[in-house]
Amino acid sequence: MRQRLLTGAGLVGVFTLLSATPALAQDEGVTADAVQAALDNIWILIAATLVIFMQAGFALVEAGLTRAKNVANIMMKNLMDFAAGVLAFAAVGFAFAYGPGNDFIGTEGFFLSSSTFSEGFGTLTTPTFFIFQVAFAATAATIVSGAMAERTKFKSYFIYSIVLSGVIYPIVVHWTWGGGWLSQLDTPFHDFAGSTIVHSVGGWAALMGAIILGPRIGKYGEDGKPRAIPGHSIPFALVGVFILLVGWFGFNPGSQLAADPVVGQIAVATVIAAAAGAVTAMATIWIRGGKPDVAMTGNGVLAGLVGVTAGCGVLDNWGALIAGAVAGVLVVFAVLFFDRVGVDDPVGAISVHGVCGVWGTLAVGLFATDGGLLYGDGADQLITQLIGVVAVGAFTLVTAGALFMAIKATVGLRVSAEEEIEGLDVLEHGTAGYGPDMLVGAGAVGR
């Protein structure tokens, strides 16, 4: 490595061969195994990059579906749950999730201790594995900001996001991907890329957050009926959806954790479910509400994606189609339901990630080509899936609920009514998110 240090990006001189790079090593002949290992690492790094790109997607969806006066705040939350999440997951989360320990939690390997993780993860080096996992942790955390948008104190959200990325999510990972109790059931829990582990953890935390916060001012009329508070930018929301779709091609195929040609099928299942979710969500809201609502159709894409995330490795194309199509219907009714019962979720995060996360996990028990109830393989897998859904759901609801209550009791969770009306941008962050040339008179009219 000394050599590399000396030579910048690897060129010792003009027109000499690269030194001290694998390239050179090849002259002495690399083995196919080594190349496969290199390929595995490169592929997972690229997949991780795609998952990290999803942060931009979440930020745009959430910004688009909320009001202009809070746009800087929502972007900032998305940025900081990534930044804080990376540090928290590196410091303790990764150890809780993948460190040696008991069936419930990892107890060693804090701060990415290289002695604990010296062996890597299969062909993946520990850093490669970590970068993929940390991207997932940030995804779980960021789901919540949308449901709590437009009324949460920034400081309080910051605390929440550290605890979720650093503790709550990692524990759930330990139970499952980390080899803990859910992976040790007779018929182990199967959640290929995280319908439950990532999405419904985010979704249930979002549910507790939205409940404990209460609805935004003006969301419910004096008659208690929900009123629409339209988001300020449908193009932002839909570009966000496209970016999330793109990122999901890292999220699902990357979860194979190896460069295996099977990732093609995982990607096909993913895209079919996304398309099906979009079409059924559009049809559902069209029939129910009279128009093909754009934001809801965007939710449908995400619902389809979440719905196939657990099963993308074990569903065939028809299974993926059904998983996505059902999710697209489900998300519409879930959004309407939460709206009606007084849970104000501006972006539909609870419905997309919580409800469809559950559905996707159960769909494995129904449609897995090997093990699915409808493929005649009995209910074992389905029962396990149910256990997983309930256990993770309960754990998240309780811990996230306790966390939000604790924050509420100490630093407070919600901004003042005045700040909420004025918009969080100016009062929490100092300036409006749009310049005076863009923002029309405080959105006063027609509110």
Partner 1 sequence: MQLITAIIKPHMLDDVKDALRAAGVQGLTISEVKGFGRQGGHTETYRGAEYKIDFVPKVKVEVVVDEGAVDGVVTAITEAARTEKIGDGKIWTTTVGSLVRIRTGERGADAV
User: Where do contacts with partner 1 occur on this chain (CB under 8 A)?
Assistant: 226-231, 285, 288-291, 293, 295-296, 299, 332, 335-336, 339, 348, 421, 426, 430-432, 440-442, 444-447
Our CB check for a copy of itself shows the closer of 198 and 211 to be 198
CB of 401 closer than 8 Å to CB of 48: no
- Rounded least distance, CB 333 to partner 1, Å: 9
* Residue whose C-alpha is closest to residue 337's, from 67, 329, 278: 329
Which entry of partner 1, a copy of itself, none binds 227, CB below 5 to 8 A by partner kind? partner 1
Our CB check for a copy of itself shows the closer of 211 and 325 to be 325
Distance (Å, whole) CA 14 – CA 24: 16
Distance (Å, whole) CA 395 – CA 354: 14
Our CB check for a copy of itself shows the closer of 61 and 213 to be 61
* Residue whose C-alpha is closest to residue 173's, from 246, 77, 255: 255
CB of 74 closer than 8 Å to CB of 59: yes
Our CB check for partner 1 shows the closer of 4 and 291 to be 291
Our CB check for a copy of itself shows the closer of 234 and 386 to be 234
Our CB check for partner 1 shows the closer of 205 and 332 to be 332
Beta bridge partners of 220: 226
- Rounded least distance, CB 211 to a copy of itself, Å: 26
Which entry of partner 1, a copy of itself, none binds 362, CB below 5 to 8 A by partner kind? none
Which entry of a copy of itself, partner 1, none binds 112, CB below 5 to 8 A by partner kind? a copy of itself
Distance (Å, whole) CA 2 – CA 326: 56
- Rounded least distance, CB 232 to partner 1, Å: 12
- Rounded least distance, CB 425 to partner 1, Å: 10
- Rounded least distance, CB 285 to a copy of itself, Å: 9
HSE-CB of 335 using CA atoms within 13 angstroms = 26
DSSP state, residue 16: S
Tell me the residue length of the chain: 447
- Rounded least distance, CB 401 to a copy of itself, Å: 26
Our CB check for a copy of itself shows the closer of 260 and 401 to be 260
Which entry of a copy of itself, partner 1, none binds 323, CB below 5 to 8 A by partner kind? none
- Rounded least distance, CB 4 to partner 1, Å: 38
Mapping DSSP to helix (H, G, I), strand (E, B) and coil, where does residue 220 land? strand
- Rounded least distance, CB 421 to partner 1, Å: 6
Which entry of partner 1, a copy of itself, none binds 176, CB below 5 to 8 A by partner kind? a copy of itself
**Looking up tokens 């007084």, which residue turns up?**
342
Distance (Å, whole) CA 214 – CA 232: 21
Distance (Å, whole) CA 309 – CA 404: 28
CB of 238 closer than 8 Å to CB of 65: no
Residue 104 CB coordination number (10 Å): 13
Our CB check for a copy of itself shows the closer of 344 and 428 to be 428
DSSP state, residue 112: G
Residue type, 211: I
Mapping DSSP to helix (H, G, I), strand (E, B) and coil, where does residue 11 land? coil
Which entry of a copy of itself, partner 1, none binds 274, CB below 5 to 8 A by partner kind? a copy of itself
Which entry of partner 1, a copy of itself, none binds 405, CB below 5 to 8 A by partner kind? none
Which entry of a copy of itself, partner 1, none binds 348, CB below 5 to 8 A by partner kind? partner 1
